[in-house]
């Protein structure tokens, strides 16, 4: 079994927030396990695969994963390095109120129909702000609860999130491409290299990826790299070094891409997560 480190950041009854780090020692499918409540899991570092029956979902920083109460699942780590996730549990009545009905299964308990939804850049930024603020004791309880519920609302919104479409076969192809990208975020991949790794032509890969994720593959990769930057901004003093470590050609390239996606520069975001 993989080894976990769990830090409780907030627990008010309305919402619980935990920072969960997994070493990723379980490369193949783990033994089946389940949760005692419905969890909303936001990966922010690394990648893993969640297996529910015959349905698999690649979990990385562009995705929100739903762990339904009492639903059996297995976890595997086909890419080395483990993962880190922000784990939210929202009181059931509040979660019911926040969730569009079409996303839920029929029944009295809150359970999601799909394993995952793709979140937008603003939700990614909220994950980082919430985690940094709580871990550094910057946010007071009321502010943290509000941030958490805002994150959930945005991550479930029909206009601010996306449920992958297309056939199961095409979704699996796209998931294989995501694992390739996640294996080395700083690498400057070519389309031909990724297509060769997953065994299809570059043209077919671009078409299927666009169909499933409703965005080009290159933009998806950029968001993964920038989400990694959100995680690391609390650790780097030299932002030029951070940008180069993530595969950007220069500080200006990194800063421009970050601002275009998140609406502010890395330096501005870094200042926002420092103690006041």
Q: For residue range 66-117, list pLDDT tens digits in order.
A: 999 999 999 999 999 999 999 999 999 999 999 999 999 988 789 999 999 9
pTM: 0.95
Return the pLDDT at 72.
96
pLDDT band at 276 (very low <50, low <70, confident <90, very high): low
Q: List pLDDT tens digits, range 138-153.
A: 999 999 999 999 999 9
Q: List pLDDT tens digits, range 251-272.
A: 999 999 999 999 999 999 999 8
| d(C-alpha 156, C-alpha 235), whole Å | 30
pLDDT band at 206 (very low <50, low <70, confident <90, very high): very high
């Amino acid at each position: 079994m993989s080894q976990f480190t769990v830090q409780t950041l907030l627990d008010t009854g309305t919402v619980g927030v935990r920072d969960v780090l997994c070493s990723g020692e379980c490369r193949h499918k783990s033994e089946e396990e389940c949760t005692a409540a419905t969890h909303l899991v936001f990966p922010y570092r690394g990648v893993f695969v969640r297996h529910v029956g015959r349905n698999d979902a690649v979990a990385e920083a562009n995705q929100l994963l739903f762990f339904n109460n009492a639903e059996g699942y297995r976890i595997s780590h086909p890419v080395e390095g483990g993962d880190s996730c922000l784990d939210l549990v929202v009181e059931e009545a509040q979660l019911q109120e926040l969730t569009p009905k079409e996303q839920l299964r029929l029944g009295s308990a809150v359970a999601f129909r799909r394993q995952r939804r793709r979140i937008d850049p603003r939700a990614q930024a909220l994950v980082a702000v919430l985690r940094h603020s709580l871990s550094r004791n910057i946010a007071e309880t009321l502010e943290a609860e509000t941030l958490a519920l805002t994150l959930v609302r945005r991550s479930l919104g029909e206009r601010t999130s996306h449920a992958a479409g297309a056939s199961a076969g095409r979704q699996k192809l796209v998931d294989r491409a995501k694992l390739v990208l996640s294996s080395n975020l700083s690498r400057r991949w070519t389309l031909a290299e990724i297509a060769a790794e997953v065994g299809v032509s570059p043209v077919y890969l671009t078409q299927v990826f666009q169909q499933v994720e409703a965005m080009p593959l290159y933009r998806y990769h950029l968001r993964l790299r920038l989400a990694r930057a959100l995680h690391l901004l609390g650790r780097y003093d030299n932002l030029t070094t951070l940008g180069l470590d993530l595969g950007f050609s220069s500080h200006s390239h990194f800063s421009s891409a970050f601002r275009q996606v998140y609406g502010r520069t890395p330096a501005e975001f870094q200042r926002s997560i420092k103690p006041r």
